């Protein structure tokens, strides 16, 4: 199973939104792998792994100029993500 297949199973609404706005699964999978400036150079998979689903929703909305409702109870804005210090050992 490739990464996009796993992503579609775990985040079906998010995957469908990407496919609808990009035209097909291949383009959506490529977008997920691109390192995004909005994610401080990380890709969308990295952001999802960190638990910031709503950042990915926000970037889709910004990138494609659409209003996509976020299905999470908390909102983490781009401004709070940028410049965030990683806590380490």
Query: Using 50, 70 and 90 to split pLDDT, how confident is the model at 65?
Result: confident
Residue 32 burial (10 A CB sphere; 0-12, 13-18, 19+): buried
Q: Structural domain boundaries of the chain? A: 3-65
Asked if pLDDT for residue 82 goes beyond 50, the answer is no
71 pLDDT higher than 50: no
Two structure tokens written together for 12: 């079906």
pLDDT at 59: 92
Contact 43, 35 (CB under 8 A): yes
Question: How do residues 7-59 score in pLDDT, each as one tens digit?
Answer: 999 999 999 989 999 999 999 999 999 999 999 999 999 999 999 999 999 99
Is pLDDT of 79 > 90?
A: no
What is the C-alpha to C-alpha distance for residues 11 and 88, in angstroms, rounded to an integer?
A: 28
For residue 10, the tally of other CB atoms under 10 A from its CB is 11
CB atoms within 10 A of CB 73: 6
């Amino acid at each position: 199973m490739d990464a996009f297949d796993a992503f579609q199973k775990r985040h079906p609404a998010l995957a469908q939104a990407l496919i609808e706005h990009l035209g097909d699964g291949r383009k959506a999978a490529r977008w997920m792998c691109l390192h995004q400036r909005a994610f401080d150079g990380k890709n969308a998979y990295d952001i999802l792994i960190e638990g910031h689903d709503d950042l990915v929703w926000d970037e889709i909305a910004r990138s494609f100029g659409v209003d996509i409702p976020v299905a999470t109870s908390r909102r983490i804005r781009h401004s709070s993500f940028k410049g965030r210090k990683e806590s380490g050992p």
